[in-house]
Amino acid sequence: MGTATQALRAIFFCAITYKDDEAAGKAREKLGGIFGPAAVEMKPFPFSFTRYYEDEMGSGLWKTLRVFSSPKDPSEAARAKLATNAIEAELSSPGGRRRVNLDPGYITLAKVVLATTKDFSHRVYLGDGIYAEVTLSAKGGSFQPHPWTYPDFKQDSVRQFLWEARSFLSASGALKEG
């Protein structure tokens, strides 16, 4: 019989998809209240992988990933997604259209996990209407995608950025490798 143990801490991040720089800036400020100070942010890149958000947010979208410096218990993923949903709603236009899309997740030495409101066969229910997806797995010195990994997370630049952010775990003393 296995013994239940406390999960090792993880580094949280948030993917920010936006068109409006002002709304993205306000989202960044509010994310600090949830996750603490930012450690690093990826240079924004054009988000042209899907047209899913265009009806609501328009075309010409950008995306960035912001990694936070304070390791946290990964069980906070559901709470983080509910909090980012509240930020999206708060920053929405008067007509209710989102101006930013916020997708929180966390990094461990073994994987990258995204929190989502959408259920699917490869997702696990966390509670409060929130699911988790292992979107990238550590293998061979990098993060590798799965068949269900979103196209933007399959990009070499995104995987490399998250792999480099993974180093904050061992550098912070929160986790020890091997």
Across 62-66, 150-154, 171-175, least confident range: 171-175
- Environment class of residue 177 by beta-carbon count within 10 Å: exposed (0-12), middle (13-18) or buried (19+)? exposed
Percent of the chain residues topping a pLDDT of 70: 95
Q: Is the pLDDT of residue 176 over 70?
A: no
Element housing 112 (H / E): strand 111-116
Summarize pLDDT for 142-164 with one digit per residue, the tens: 999 999 999 999 999 999 999 99
Q: Enter the tokens of residue 125.
A: 């229910």
User: What is the per-residue pLDDT for 74?
Assistant: 96
Closest CA to 165 of 64, 85, 19, 49: 64
pLDDT of residue 77: 97
- Quick one: residue 11, left, alpha or beta (phi over 0 = left, psi -120 to 50 = alpha)? beta
Q: Phi and psi at residue 98, in whole multiples of 5°?
A: -65, 145
**Distance separating alpha carbons of residues 127 and 99, to the nearest angstrom:** 26
Q: What is the pLDDT of residue 48?
A: 86
Closest CA relative to residue 18, chosen from 94, 67, 88: 88
Kindly tell me if the per-residue pLDDT of 102 is higher than 90: yes
